[in-house]
Amino acid sequence: MRFDTGCSCCRDDFYDFEAWLMKNVNVAAHPLIQHKLTLMRDKTCSTKGFRQLLNEIGMLLCYELTRDLPVEAVKIETPMAEMMAPKLAGKKLVFAPILRAGTGFLEGMLELVPSARVAHIGLYRDPETLEAVEYYFKAPHDIADRLVILIDPMLATGNSACAAVKLLLKHGAREIRFACLLAAPEGIEKLRCMHPDVQIWTAAIDNHLDTHGYIVPGLGDAGDRMFGTK
């Protein structure tokens, strides 16, 4: 399997392209996630329903991608006895939604990790070139000490994801994971090529991009469906 993304920096001599491509990808195959995703894909899903489902999947995806967070034993006292019990170690996470659709995942993730910090990344997609253009960035000053979960429902061309990772690195981030609802093979390849250290969590990998950079079969424009702007 080969996809033509124009990106071939480090894969040419790899004997199994699919294994190379999938090395960084975690597909959250939980039946609840898959069921909710199917409801969202349906074009008759209401704006309200779409937002609620995105929120719920955000929470479930967050549960999956925090599975390996480090914990440390702390001494506590239950009503019955003292004990050593596990707590999350280190500084709180940073959730970094790419505006505007990334905010759809944020609420659900914050419900699960309420003390997380939030970085906002404003990027829009140039309709002609499909390149990401930055218009806003605000992140916690100590981002270098925190695990950053970059969130955007759609990993399509990979341009926005790569631009966002680059911005986060420029501001000091050292550990970044990427969470999305749907990924196109083209976007996975681009992110894998440009930022091989970034692990991806997605609910599904779709077939391809159309000529406008939309994921097929996909679910259409996630921002428009979330906010009812079309």
* Active site annotation includes 157: no
The footprint of ligand URA on this chain (CB under 6 A) covers a number of residues equal to 10
Task: Render the burial of 95-126: b for 16+ CB within 10 Å, e for the rest.
Answer: bbbbebbbbbbbbbbbeebeebbbbbbbbebe
Q: Does 17 bind ligand URA (CB under 6 A)?
A: no
Respond yes or no: is residue 129 known to be catalytic: yes
Q: Does 214 bind ligand URA (CB under 6 A)?
A: yes
Nearer Cβ to ligand URA, position 139 or 156? 156
Report if residue 154 touches ligand URA, rule: CB under 6 A: yes
Distance of CA 180 to the CA centre of its chain: 4
Instruction: Indicate whether 218 belongs to the interface with ligand URA (CB under 6 A).
Output: yes
Question: How far apart are the C-alpha atoms of 143 and 161, rounded to whole Å?
Answer: 18
The number of CA neighbours under 13 Å toward the Cβ of 109 is 28
- Give the closest residue to 119 by CA, choosing from 105, 103, 138: 138
Determine the residue type at 147: L
Pick between residue 94 and residue 132 the one whose CB is nearest to ligand URA: 132
Least separation, in Å, of the C-beta of 206 and ligand URA?
A: 8
Check if 224 is active-site: yes
Q: Which residues contact ligand URA by CB under 6 A?
A: 101, 154, 156, 213-215, 218, 221-223
Active site residues: 125, 129, 221, 224
